[in-house]
Amino acid sequence: MRITGGLARGIPLILPKGDAVRPATDALRQAVFSSLAARVPAARFLDLFAGSGAYGLEALSRGASGGVWVEKNAPTAAFIHQNITAVCKSLGRDLRDLQVIAADAVTAQWGPAPDLIFIDPPYDLIHAVAPQIFARLTPWLAAVADPVIVFEMPGEVEFSPEGWTCVKRLGKGARQPTAGIFRATRTVL
């Protein structure tokens, strides 16, 4: 697994051994960031259920100004720190404006409202956590001009959170990973 684009392209990401993390595939991340291209430079992001931190690291490589990773598993959060260090070294930037929070993504204090949110929960938890997270995000992001949420889920899952519209679905196949790109209903014409 590696960074697929931007200035840190090719930097390998380290992952914990075993099945504690199901990282987003390189191809799906490339598709997501191709769709978000103009929105990433100078954006702030939030990466929930961060795992390896790949979504946030990809955003950083492509010009995001900073962000927060939230990962409940403390040893996995330590791997995110190592990956951040490697990507920042490649980018020639310091770690300022970057934070890893080892906490439950549903209940954690996320910090300032970002422009981009990446949500990649364990697939078996999607139906339990997705409504809770979107319910928290809606009022929190009300002051953000045009927030975008990227929500990874299996292809067979359909999800229509109140106040949000899925403007694009990337990936295909009933049991394959897909990413829904959601925008607040108030911003969709």
Mean pLDDT of 51-61: 94
In 42-186 the beta strands, taken as DSSP E runs, fall at: 44-48, 66-70, 98-101, 116-119, 148-154, 164-170, 177-184
Model pTM score: 0.92
- Looking at residue 176, its pLDDT comes to 85
Q: What band does 189 get if pLDDT is binned at 50, 70 and 90?
A: very low
Compute the radius of gyration of the chain from its Cα atoms: 15
Residue 39 has pLDDT above 50, yes or no: yes
| Other C-beta atoms lying within 10 Å of the C-beta of residue 158 | 9
Q: Are 78 and 101 a contacting pair, CB within 8 Å?
A: no
**pLDDT at residue 117, as a whole number:** 97
What tokens were used for 129? 């956590």
Query: Which tens digits make up the pLDDT trace of 103-160?
Result: 999 999 988 899 999 999 998 899 999 999 999 999 999 889 899 999 999 889 888 9
| The CATH number of domain 26-187 is 3.40.50.150 | yes
Question: Is residue 168 scored above 60 in pLDDT?
Answer: yes
What mean pLDDT, rounded, does the chain reach? 90
Do residues 30 and 183 touch, judged by C-beta distance below 8 A?
A: no
Q: How confident is the model at residue 186 (pLDDT cuts 50, 70, 90)?
A: low
Kindly tell me if the per-residue pLDDT of 188 is higher than 50: no
Q: Is 183 in contact with 146 (CB distance < 8 Å)?
A: yes
Phi and psi angles of residue 187, each rounded to the nearest 5 degrees, phi first: -100, -10
Strands (E), the chain: 44-48, 66-70, 98-101, 116-119, 148-154, 164-170, 177-184
pLDDT at 18: 62
Alpha carbon distance 31, 144 (integer Å): 24
Q: What percentage of the chain has pLDDT greater than the value 70?
A: 95
Residue 89's pLDDT is 95
Structural domain spans, the chain: 26-187
> Residues 1-18: what's their mean pLDDT?
85
